[in-house]
């Protein structure tokens, strides 16, 4: 059955020191889907406006993504515009126009109700909960969120956390949710809220994964040419869930590998605008970076003679 993702499909206008794009294909479900489709079948549930360019739908279909759950409504598509400074860690949002996304009520088509792997991209936690009511018995549910929901809907988020297997969030969100600056403690505290596993995305510093037994520290891919960080987190989630769904293996060892595949997809994402960096990869491209990440973080425990 592959992966079901529920999130946003949007039109992004992004300016970085290296260039700019207007109304480019964006949104959490988009980045996730394009990344995950390299691993497994992907079905997307989202909403766009009547203005959404048909060529974007065609592109998603060309990647093998099931867009039958992409609802078109009267009105305009969700639009986001942002500007990144020279230090790409900082960005300013110019505008967020929710448009048709404002009244998005995700409806999971019957034939997707038995999805085994479900990713709840960053949307209102009430909607994330409503998605879980519509799927029968998923093997693994992963979830993203953001500071806005942590601050405005903490109680709903708490209920959601009890129902997800893997929480994927960035480091500042993890610290904020836990109310604890020490990231190791904060990750443990989020685990105490329900999920079996937490994956903390740290951008250029890689990712930290924790379950009740152990921590895993994954390096970032050493990208010298970060062109546009937009979508990196959702591309990470796409590689992560794609690997899990492809192998149907949710062991701790495979979750580590999934974190690395997430890292690989994020590294391709940031090298170009929109989903361009992930538009035409082949299996060897991904395996090369997977192995490079192994070499990058490997050290021998014993001296092999001198």
Rule CB under 8 A: which residues touch a second copy?
86-89, 181-185, 188, 202, 204-206, 208, 214-220, 222-226, 247-249, 251, 253-254, 256-257, 259-260, 290-291, 294-301, 303-304, 306
90/133 with CB nearer a second copy: 90
Work out how close the CB of 84 gets to a second copy at its nearest, in angstroms, rounded to a whole number: 11
- Residue 34, CA distances (Å) to 5, 160, 247 in order: 11, 26, 18
Work out how close the CB of 20 gets to a second copy at its nearest, in angstroms, rounded to a whole number: 19
Whose structure tokens read 């109680």? 155
Work out how close the CB of 276 gets to a second copy at its nearest, in angstroms, rounded to a whole number: 19
48/186 with CB nearer a second copy: 186
111/291 with CB nearer a second copy: 291
124/171 with CB nearer a second copy: 171
CA distance 175 to 181: 5
Work out how close the CB of 83 gets to a second copy at its nearest, in angstroms, rounded to a whole number: 15
CA distance 234 to 33: 9
Closest by Cα among 257, 260, 234 to 120: 234
Torsion of CA 219, 224, 228, 230, to 10 degrees: 0
Work out how close the CB of 99 gets to a second copy at its nearest, in angstroms, rounded to a whole number: 34
Hey, what are 283's tokens?
A: 């299996």
Work out how close the CB of 168 gets to a second copy at its nearest, in angstroms, rounded to a whole number: 17
Non-local (6+) Cβ contacts of 81 within 8 A are: 12, 13, 14, 93, 94, 95
60/210 with CB nearer a second copy: 210
Identify the burial level of 38 via C-beta atoms within 10 angstroms of its C-beta, where 0-12 means exposed, 13-18 middle and 19 or more buried. Answer: buried
158/217 with CB nearer a second copy: 217
Work out how close the CB of 54 gets to a second copy at its nearest, in angstroms, rounded to a whole number: 37
6/207 with CB nearer a second copy: 207
Strand intervals (E) in 123-213: 140-143, 166-170, 197-201, 207-211
CA distance 116 to 137: 7
């Amino acid at each position: 059955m592959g992966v079901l993702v529920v999130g946003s499909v949007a039109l992004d206008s992004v300016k970085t020191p290296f260039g700019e794009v207007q109304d480019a294909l964006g949104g959490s479900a988009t980045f996730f889907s394009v990344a995950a489709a390299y691993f497994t079948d992907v079905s997307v549930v989202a909403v766009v406006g009547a203005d959404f360019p048909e060529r974007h739908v065609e592109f998603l279909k060309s990647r093998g993504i099931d867009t039958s759950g992409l609802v078109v409504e009267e009105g305009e598509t969700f639009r986001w515009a942002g500007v990144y400074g020279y230090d790409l860690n900082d960005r300013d949002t110019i505008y967020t126009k929710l448009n048709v996304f404002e009244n998005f009520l995700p409806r999971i088509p019957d034939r997707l109700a038995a999805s085994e792997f479900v990713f709840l991209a960053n949307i209102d936690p009430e909607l994330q909960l409503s998605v879980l009511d519509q799927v029968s018995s998923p093997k693994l549910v992963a979830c993203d969120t953001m500071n806005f929901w942590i601050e405005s809907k903490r109680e709903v988020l708490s209920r959601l956390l009890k129902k997800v297997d893997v929480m994927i969030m960035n480091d500042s969100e993890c610290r904020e949710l836990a109310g604890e600056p020490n990231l190791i403690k904060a990750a443990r505290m989020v685990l105490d809220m329900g999920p079996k596993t937490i994956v903390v995305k740290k951008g250029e510093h890689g990712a930290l994964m924790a379950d009740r037994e152990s921590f895993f520290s994954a390096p970032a891919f050493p990208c010298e040419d970060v062109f546009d960080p937009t979508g990196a987190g959702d591309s990470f989630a796409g590689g992560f869930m794609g690997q899990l769904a492809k192998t149907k293996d949710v062991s701790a060892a495979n979750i580590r590998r999934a974190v690395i595949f997430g890292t690989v997809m994020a590294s391709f994402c940031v090298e170009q605008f929109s989903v361009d960096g992930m538009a035409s990869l082949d299996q060897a491209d991904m395996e090369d970076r997977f192995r490079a990440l192994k070499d990058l973080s490997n050290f021998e425990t014993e001296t092999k003679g001198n």
